């Protein structure tokens, strides 16, 4: 029988008998003209493709249901359709490319015969389970994405190296599951198909290497050849079977890259980007340029949004993290997003992301720089996000001002007097909450600053702090004591006032414990995400976040212990922040804000020796390191606490390491990562590097996770472990 006649019979037949008929001898003497791709293969009644977007009846059953005959039959029905689709697509490639090398065509013909046999085996086994082929809807996804192939290279890339490679995982996984369910017969069937799939992938790989650009390695050529909606993620199934891939001839670099690659399989992604200079862009205008060290810090930490994202989301970065780093993150149990490269801080012309549907924008902060970066993607927004403004709303800029935060706190404290009497009769606010006099005031001249200092000195606050309204914590800050300002301090003050926003003046308080409250404003309101402890140095610069096991329920124990009646006060603080959220939400919406929000706060010791709470130091309308800390701790085992730290190059040097990579090795040796628990292992203890130590030049982010006893303080017990081999980090910029 001629190969062309055989392929036509398989592709266009209307009965399974014809589609699965396999002649004894095939010749390829008359390959004929190239065939135009039909809209769909011929199919028997009941096996026509279901409409796109409908999935009822064809979902893969969960593993724990595979002891039931019908559930096993449903899974086999799913596999059987995939084998039939592969058979039809192989027939199509023989008809589409009659001039392809004869050896390639012979290999495809043999693979087609294997796929016919796989289909027959699945048919027999699923009938034993009480399911008839066509009883459930069948998908045409394979056909839709592979049949438009423009060359045999497209075929081996999309079918052999994508869907058949993924089957190396599926066959191995479900062979184990069927064995566990007591179905040895189906397990043997899958083992046999698995061995065939190794040969099929090897055949495709042989021709892929022959046809690809010889200047490209296999991985780069594979990524370049795939066309959306296909991505390397489709070449993985359940689990990751490196052994089978090696047996098929794939090299170690390809296997390692595939293991950590991530891209959406259908859900419209959210777009994340780390832009930590929102306050400066708002306060100083579009001409703001971060200093070299600050820009390097931002580059080093550009991957951090991956811990805020889900698996199908996209993180924009200038440089992708290394495979080794991503492997460590995946091994720790975190899902990996897709990384898309920027070029000079902009999306590259022609990037496929510009043609994809987008579910949401999730920059670190909404500011002029992030709005400009994401503007080219705005036409791709779908669903509820479609109405997202294309440009930065100037009203939103007010939220970045410390003056706005101070004004809101002052108003809230006045209103809380009334609310507190209703919630807790007989409890005076001044017993545990700060008075309005410690809240910052905005002044617009040097003379007003000195006048305000005198007023605060007369009321018992000899030192003051002066802050630029727009600037990150620990920077753009001046402290004044009793003595007269120095010439350098006066120059700083004049430069700050020249920006035209005034300055915020407030007492410099004896801070005991800092913490943050993480919130998210969405359609359903402003909800609490959780609390984290916040460690700043004496100048207010960020050093660490920490959280205990119940971080999402209450403020850190270190906060409550300092205040009077800590047990009873826990509920009152919770009520305070609930009321604060109720009052804050309409103001946020009126200024166009939605998304993440962090509220910094602290407990301080007043001159009478009592500790009091300042519930708002500043409001950050963006993601914060506290939010990253909480998201990381979702992967921590129950009963564990965690510390997030930023470590400088001086840290590595002090530990006797010439750079971050050997320092990361030292941390791994001293605090190895230990996972445990079922069904999803969680981190029980150890240190995890959160940005790539092989690429970082100025800062290394680490998380230290370990067991926590309620009697212990998280900070001395855990951060002390890291401190023991590292000095404090004092970055030029803070985040």
The full set of domains in the chain, from first to last, is: 3-19+69-260 (1.20.1260.10), 270-392 (no CATH), 400-623 (3.30.470), 635-735 (no CATH)
What values do phi and psi take at 592, rounded to 5? Answer: 85, 15
For residue range 632-649, list pLDDT tens digits in order.
Answer: 999 999 989 899 999 989
Six token digits for residue 201:
């992938």
Is residue 702 within 8 A of residue 692, CB to CB? The reply is: no
Residues of the chain with pLDDT > 90, as a percent, come to 70
If you average pLDDT over every residue of the chain, what do you get?
A: 89
Within 13 Å, how many C-alpha atoms sit on residue 175's CB side?
Answer: 16
Q: Residue 146: pLDDT band by 50, 70, 90 thresholds?
A: very high
Nearest to 513, CA basis, from 438, 425, 612, 417 = 612
- Per-residue confidence (pLDDT) for residue 560, from 0 to 100: 83
Give the span between the Cα atoms of 10 and 605, in whole angstroms: 82
183-217: pLDDT as tens digits: 999 999 999 999 999 999 999 999 999 999 999 99
List the single range of 495-499, 565-569, 582-586 with lowest mean pLDDT: 565-569
Model confidence at 714: pLDDT above 60:
no
Give the dihedral of Cα atoms 169, 172, 175, 181; nearest 10 deg.
-70
pLDDT at 53: 58
Residue 277 CA to residue 287 CA, distance in Å, equals: 12
Q: Say what the pLDDT of residue 719 is.
A: 47
pTM of the model: 0.84
As a whole-number percent, the residues of the chain with pLDDT over 70 amount to 92
Band of the pLDDT at 726, cuts 50, 70, 90? Answer: very low
728 — pLDDT class (breaks 50, 70, 90): very low
- State the average pLDDT over residues 267-286: 91
Q: Give pLDDT, residue 51.
A: 83
Average pLDDT score over residue span 653-663 = 93
Residue 492 clears pLDDT 60, i.e. is over it: yes
- Mean pLDDT for 256-283 is 90
Please report the pLDDT score of residue 173 as a whole number: 94
**pLDDT of res. 424:** 57
Q: What strands lie across the sheet with 360-363, from one edge to the other? A: 346-347, 338-343, 314-317, 270-273, 360-363
* Average pLDDT of the residues in 222-250: 94
Please state the rounded mean pLDDT for residues 548-566: 78
What is the rounded average pLDDT of the residues 155-160?
97
Section 341-370 average pLDDT: 93
| Cα-based angle 399, 400, 405 (whole degrees, multiple of 5) | 65
pLDDT computed for residue 730 by the predictor: 41
DSSP assigned state of 501: S
The reported pLDDT for the residue numbered 734 is 40
Q: Omega into 229 within 30° of 0, i.e. cis?
A: yes
Q: What is the pLDDT of residue 722?
A: 45
The answer to whether 165 touches 259, Cβ cutoff 8 Å, is: no
- Average pLDDT, stretch 673-701? 93
CA 192 to chain centre: 38
Task: Estimate to the nearest angstrom the gap between the alpha carbon of 700 and the chain centroid.
Answer: 18
Q: In this predicted structure, what is the pLDDT of residue 482?
A: 75
Neighbours of 520 (CB within 10 A): 16
Q: How many CB atoms lie within 10 A of CB 213?
A: 10
> Over the stretch 6-63, which tens digit does the pLDDT of each residue have?
999 999 999 999 999 988 888 999 999 999 999 999 999 889 998 875 544 456 677 7
Residue 614: pLDDT over 90: yes
- pLDDT at site 61: 73
Note the pLDDT of residue 228.
82
Q: In angstroms, how far apart are the furthest CA atoms of the chain?
A: 105
pLDDT at 535 over 70: yes
Are 611 and 514 in contact by the 8 Å Cβ rule? The answer is no
pLDDT tier, 573 (very low <50, low <70, confident <90, very high otherwise):
confident
Is 77 or 554 the better-scoring residue by pLDDT? 77
For residue 276, pLDDT over 90 is answered with yes
Residue 414: the pLDDT is 87
pLDDT at 311: 87
The Cα 569–Cα 588 span in angstroms is 28
- SS3 call for 721: helix
Read off the pLDDT of each residue in 574-578 and give the average, rounded to a whole number: 87
Q: What is the pLDDT of residue 495?
A: 92
258 by DSSP, 3-state: which? helix
For residue 421, pLDDT beyond 80? no
């Amino acid at each position: 029988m001629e190969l062309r006649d055989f392929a036509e019979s398989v592709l266009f037949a209307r009965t399974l008998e014809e589609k699965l008929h396999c002649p004894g001898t095939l010749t390829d003497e008359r390959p004929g003209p190239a065939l135009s791709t039909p809209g769909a293969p011929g199919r028997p009644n009941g096996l026509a493709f279901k409409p796109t977007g409908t999935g009822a009846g064809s979902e893969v059953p969960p593993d724990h249901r595979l002891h039931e005959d019908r559930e096993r039959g449903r899974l086999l029905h799913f596999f059987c359709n995939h084998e039939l689709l592969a058979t039809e697509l192989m027939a199509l490639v023989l008809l589409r490319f009659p001039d392809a090398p004869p050896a390639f065509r012979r290999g495809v013909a043999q693979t087609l015969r294997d796929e016919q046999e796989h289909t027959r085996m699945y048919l027999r086994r699923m009938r034993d389970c009480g399911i008839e082929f066509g009883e459930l809807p069948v998908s045409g996804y394979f056909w839709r994405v592979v049949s438009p192939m423009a060359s045999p290279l497209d075929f081996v890339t999309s079918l052999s190296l994508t869907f058949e490679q993924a089957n190396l995982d599926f066959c191995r996984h479900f062979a184990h599951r069927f064995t566990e369910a007591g179905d040895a017969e189906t397990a043997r069937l899958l083992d046999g198909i698995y061995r065939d799939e190794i040969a099929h992938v090897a055949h495709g790989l042989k021709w892929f290497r022959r046809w690809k650009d010889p200047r490209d390695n296999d991985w780069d050529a594979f990524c370049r050849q795939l066309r959306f909606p296909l991505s390397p993620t489709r070449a993985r199934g359940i689990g990751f079977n490196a052994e089978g891939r090696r047996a098929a001839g794939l090299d170690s670099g390809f296997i390692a890259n595939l293991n950590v690659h991530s891209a959406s399989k259908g859900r419209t992604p959210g777009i994340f980007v780390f832009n930590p200079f929102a306050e400066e862009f708002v306060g100083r205008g579009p001409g703001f340029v971060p200093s070299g060290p600050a820009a390097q810090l931002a580059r080093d930490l550009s991957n951090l949004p991956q811990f805020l994202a889900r698996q199908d989301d996209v993180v924009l970065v200038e440089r992708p993290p290394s495979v080794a780093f991503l492997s460590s993150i995946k091994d720790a149990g975190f899902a990996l997003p897709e990384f898309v490269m920027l070029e000079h801080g902009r999306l590259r012309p022609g990037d496929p992301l510009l043609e994809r549907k987008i579910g949401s924008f999730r920059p670190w902060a909404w500011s002029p720089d992030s709005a400009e970066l994401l503007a080219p993607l705005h036409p791709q927004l779908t669903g509820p996000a479609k109405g997202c403004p294309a440009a930065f709303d100037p009203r939103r800029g007010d939220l970045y001002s410390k003056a706005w935060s101070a004004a809101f706190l002052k108003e809230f404290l006045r209103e809380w007097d009334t609310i507190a009497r209703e919630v807790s009769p007989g409890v005076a606010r001044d017993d545990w909450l700060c008075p309005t006099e410690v809240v910052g005031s905005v002044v617009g001249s040097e003379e007003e600053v000195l006048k305000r200092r005198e007023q605060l000195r007369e009321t018992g606050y000899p030192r003051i702090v002066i802050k630029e309204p727009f600037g990150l914590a620990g920077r753009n800050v001046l402290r004044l004591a009793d003595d007269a300002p120095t010439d350098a301090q006066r120059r700083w003050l004049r430069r700050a006032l020249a920006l035209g926003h005034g300055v915020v003046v407030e007492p410099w308080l004896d801070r005991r414990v800092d913490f943050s409250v993480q919130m998210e404003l969405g359609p359903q309101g402003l909800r609490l995400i959780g609390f984290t402890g916040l460690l700043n140095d004496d100048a207010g610069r960020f050093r660490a976040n920490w959280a205990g096991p119940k971080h999402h329920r209450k403020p850190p124990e270190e906060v409550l212990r300092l205040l009077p009646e800590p047990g009873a006060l826990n509920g009152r603080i919770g009520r305070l922040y609930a009321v604060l959220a109720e009052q804050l939400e309409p103001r946020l919406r009126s200024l166009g804000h939605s998304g993440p929000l962090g509220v910094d706060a602290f407990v301080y010791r007043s001159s009478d020796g009592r500790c009091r709470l300042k519930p708002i130091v500043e409001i950050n309308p963006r993601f914060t390191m506290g939010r990253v800390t909480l998201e990381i701790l979702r992967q921590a085992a129950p009963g564990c606490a965690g510390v997030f730290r930023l470590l400088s190059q001086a840290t590595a040097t002090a530990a006797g390491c010439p750079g971050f990579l050997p320092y990361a090795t030292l941390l791994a040796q001293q605090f190895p990562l230990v996972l445990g628990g079922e069904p999803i292992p969680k981190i029980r203890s150890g240190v995890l590097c959160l940005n790539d130590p092989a690429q970082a030049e100025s800062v290394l982010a680490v998380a230290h996770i370990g067991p926590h006893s309620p009697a212990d303080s998280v900070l001395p017990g855990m951060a002390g472990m890291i401190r023991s081999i590292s000095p404090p980090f004092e970055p030029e910029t803070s985040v």
